[in-house]
Amino acid sequence: MAFDIPRGKITALFGPSGAGKSSVLRLISGLEMAEDGFISNGNETWFDKAKGINLHPQQRSVGFVFQDYALFPHMTVERNVAYGIKEKWRIKEIKDLIDIAGLSGYERHYPAQLSGGQKQRVSLIRAIARKPDILLLDEPFSALDWQTRIQLQEDVKNIIKQFNVTTMYVTHDVSEVYKLANNVIVMESGKEVKRGTPEEVFLGKRLSTRVQVTGKVVGIEHDSIMASVTILHADQFFKTLIDTEELKSLNLRIGDDVVVGVKSSDVILFKI
């Protein structure tokens, strides 16, 4: 596969697990070596098999955010963030970074004293602190519960925007791509299968005015003309009425898996 990452933009690498998304990040950062090909950052070559060039991770201007944070457990938040800063005079910027990440007051805390979302924020500003040319995020939200995830996605988007850093991140969550990315590259078994803006890639012809959900039948109540069917979808129960004749022809029983289609003309939306 071959691709360019546009400067100052957020590019998502999307695909099922095992598609090789994380490997792409590891190759870019130099944590793993490619068998062939080349990687360059502007005019600087980071890897070129043909010319025998392979810069160490230390020599590549990257910031890497790991799925499980990889914070140094024996260092405080402050020291973690300062770890990649080599210029002494820049040390005072750490406080600003910690403020931006909403972690003021936690400077002297150790990673074990932080929540998952806080840890990931420390990990993000630690990576940004060294002013990398490219920020790489490896499924940064997957270890978090959904509420934290939604909040953190927002925060990460703002932080990345503020620093205007070129970003590439790995995810298998479509909604995350929509929320964060300008561009998306879809990968399957080590190969690129599609690329474009999230709209181009995901919507296409699949845009529909119908909503479909799958569920399990957990109750059926018969009446003279109509029957009421109780369906469980994820952790939500809902009831729907269908014609008794239709029920007969479907031969529906408790425990069956069903698809429920709803026309999206009269839908109520809630913000969570």
Partner 1 sequence: MNFAAPLLLSLKLSSVTTLLLLVLGVPFAYWLVFTRFRWKFLVESVVALPLVLPPTVLGFYLLMIIGGNSFIGQWYESIFNKPLAFSFQGLVLGSFLYSLPFAVQPIQTAFSSVDKKLLEASWSLGRSNVYTFFRVILPLSRHGIITGCVLSFAHTLGEFGVILMIGGNIPGVTRVASVAIYDEVQSLNYGSANMYAAILLSFSFIILAAVYFINRRFVRTL
Residues that bind partner 1 (CB under 8 A): 29-31, 56-58, 61-64, 66, 68, 70-74, 83-84, 86, 112, 126-127, 130
Residue closer to partner 1, measured from CB, 132 or 198: 132
Nearest distance from C-beta of residue 107 to partner 1, angstroms: 18
Residue closer to partner 1, measured from CB, 114 or 177: 114
Nearest distance from C-beta of residue 136 to partner 1, angstroms: 8
Nearest distance from C-beta of residue 137 to partner 1, angstroms: 12
Nearest distance from C-beta of residue 72 to partner 1, angstroms: 6
Residue closer to partner 1, measured from CB, 130 or 172: 130
Residue closer to partner 1, measured from CB, 28 or 152: 28
DSSP code per residue over the chain: ------TT-EEEEE--TTSSHHHHHHHHHTSS--SS-EEEETTEEEEETTTTEE--GGGS-EEEE-TT----TTS-HHHHHHTT---GGGGGHHHHHHHHTT-TT-TT--GGGS-HHHHHHHHHHHHHHT--SEEEEESTTTTS-HHHHHHHHHHHHHHHHHHT-EEEEEES-HHHHHHH-SEEEEEETTEEEEEE-HIIIIIGGG--SEEEEEEEEEEEEE-SSEEEEEEEETTEEEEEEEEHHHHHHHT--TT-EEEEEEETTS------
Nearest distance from C-beta of residue 1 to partner 1, angstroms: 22
Residue closer to partner 1, measured from CB, 41 or 227: 41
